[in-house]
Chain A
Amino acid sequence: MKKNLINIAVLLISGLTWLNAQSPDPQEILAAVDRNLNFETDFSCRFTMVTYRAGETPETQEMTLFSRPESVGGEEKFLAIVIKPDVDKGTGYLMQGENFWIYDPESRRFSHSTARDSVQDSDVNNDDLGTANFVEDYRIMGMTEGMLGKIDCWILDLEAKTESVDYNRIKVWVGKQELIPYKEEDYSLTGTLMRTVLAPKWSLIEGKYIYRQVFFKDELREGNRTVLVFDQVSLNSLPNHLFTKAYLEESSR
């Protein structure tokens, strides 16, 4: 009898351990995603953005992006400058903490904006270029498992803790192996699916996962989508003067 009890206890403990190993804490998964996406160093890259609009010729733009995390600069900063096509060349975006400016090289004027506006009328929000903060901004409502093509994923159902984020509810497909998001569905406050984001290609640079290609699909407007391709990625430190209006003006000349 005693032996049986011990056997049952051993079975229970190993069963729980197995369960635990199979279903890790969703909060930890989310924290790992944040860690994997965010850098503790400066970041720069060049990205190509192709915007598809129904019935229109696709528009291609190339931009240079520099970013600095809060842990390095005291506040989150990023600067993006359009380098192609010529008609938009020099248009710049500068974020310093809560402040966001758009620079128009033609009028040589800055306009104060919100980080929520879209980048060059695409399906990419300015916020998408900043730091991911899933743990801080969202609470986990549920977690299931599923396959995304051949990728085994945790599917996290998240609800916003605050209205200061773009979407009230998001569903994130996190690869079990690398703990990076491969897919995201963004829902409005009324529960309507607004946007689907797919990130099939990643690079591992200095222990950090970096997007190589991201697809944004507008779920409200038929045929609207945007593709981002990142290259020339660097984690080298950047000079302070890069994140200033003066630099933006100077580099737009």
Chain B
Amino acid sequence: MRYLKLALKNTAREKKRSFLLAGAIAFGLSVILLVSALGDGLLDSFLNQQAGMISGHIVMRGFSLNERDRMVSRIDKNDSAAALGREFFTDLERINFRTTAQGTLINGSEAMQQMIIGIDPREETAMEKLLIMESGRYLTEEDEQGVLVSADLAEQLMINPGDRILLKTRTQQGMQNVTEVEVTGIISGDLGMMSDLAVFAQRTYLNTLLNIPEESSTEVHFFLTDPEGSEQRATDFWTFLQGRGVPLVDRPEDRSERQEIVAHLSQQEWEGTRYYLSSLEEDIPFVFVMSSFLNGTAMIVMIILLGIILVGVGNTLRMVIYERRKEIGTLRALGMKRSPLLFTLLTEMLLITLLGALAGIGIAQVAGAAIRSITFDGGHSFLDLFLYRNHMSLLFAPSRILSTVLTITVLVGIASYLPARKAAKLDPAKAIHSIA
């Protein structure tokens, strides 16, 4: 306790120097935390909010061959393999049966190709909470031919809620089909990049267009409460299903190989249904690539800043020791042992580091809050990637803050150790004599 007080007193004694060193640490840490928060925020907003619109964290498709040996995808509600998902995923939030197809929406001479996602609005209450309607409303059971389109698409096709437009697609066997649909609602672009990617329709109605039974679907989407590591979890589920004797499409580690396998599946012959599992990382990889890029950037920034901090800490301590040689010599002459002296010097540096870290966390939080409060106009640019409801998504994960502070503290300790030990080893007589 006595030595801790001494360290504290020493820190306060050299206010300017301590402030500068702590300030450098605070600045470095806040930059690292902000860049990481941007990457983590992007991934978090994507996994927990935006992805829900387009895809589950794990998606199961069931491929079978029709009487003409053409491959079709279909999974019924009582599918036994899909039911095994309830058994396997202990953190299952919900399961949604969806039908997806490529389609073209046509209004006069204007046309746009889009992914059409058939949902059951009674089941997808989470989707209702997630979507922000710019105009019109969410789908209800009554809107048999209703569709929800993005604000961007509505602008391009020049349509408003209540308008009737054409939806062209193909049946699952490949026959051309077209029908009239009614625009029920327009989804706000404020939801971020995912809001532009699909058109939502009633699953039963889309099924009739695809000429498959009304109650069936083409995909099962598993939403998990802990969606991180969806790729590994899909692999684990695949292994689990394999153990249960479920016929599966191979799942090699290389994702491009998987696509090749699916592309050539129609050339193979088999009976019954073969299940294909994909993860969010596989289906929408660019978000994960961007998040990794940001975290990688944060890591590089951290390495550079840590280097600067370490050199600064080492030099500061050397300077402190040089200036306090007489004092150190006197303390040693008065009987202070080496280890308490070492402890005092190290504690002094660690105190400055912790003060800097606390300030850094504070700066990052304030800056984060300021960035979050800015309302951006979704201009469909690269920035959209980071926006959710027109605001930047930043996530300060406590584990990341703790690990970064811990890393800095340990490294400062290492950088301080050698000069502190050298000071502790000083001969008291020589130390006093050198100053004299």
Contact = CB atoms under 8 A, between A and B. Distances in A.
Contact of B178 (A116, A166, A194): A194
A43 B222 CA distance: 51
A223 interface: yes
B176 A114 contact: no
B68 interface: yes
A224 to B, nearest CB: 7
Contact of B174 (A99, A166, A190, A224): A166
A186 interface: yes
Contacts of B109: 54-55, 221-224
B174 A114 contact: yes
A194 B68 CA distance: 25
B177 interface: yes
Interface centre among A54, A99, A116, A164 (most CB of B within 10 A): A164
A221 B173 contact: no
Q: Interface extent on A, as a size class? A: 20 to 34
Given A162-B68, A164-B68, A116 B177 contact: no
A120 to B, nearest CB: 15
A192 interface: yes
B264 interface: yes
A166 B176 contact: yes
A163 B179 contact: no
A79 interface: no
Contacts of B173: 162-164
Interface in A82-100: 98-99
A237 interface: no
A153 interface: no
Contacts of B166: 220
B233 interface: no
Interface in B166-190: 166, 168, 170-171, 173-179
Nearest to A56: B109
Interface string B98-119: 0000000010110100000000
Interface in B103-154: 106, 108-109, 111
Interface in A155-194: 160, 162-168, 186, 188-190, 192, 194
Interface of A: 54-55, 98-99, 112, 114, 116, 160, 162-168, 186, 188-190, 192, 194, 220-224
10 A-B pairs closest in CB distance: A54-B109, A163-B173, A222-B109, A112-B263, A189-B177, A188-B178, A163-B175, A188-B177, A192-B178, A223-B109
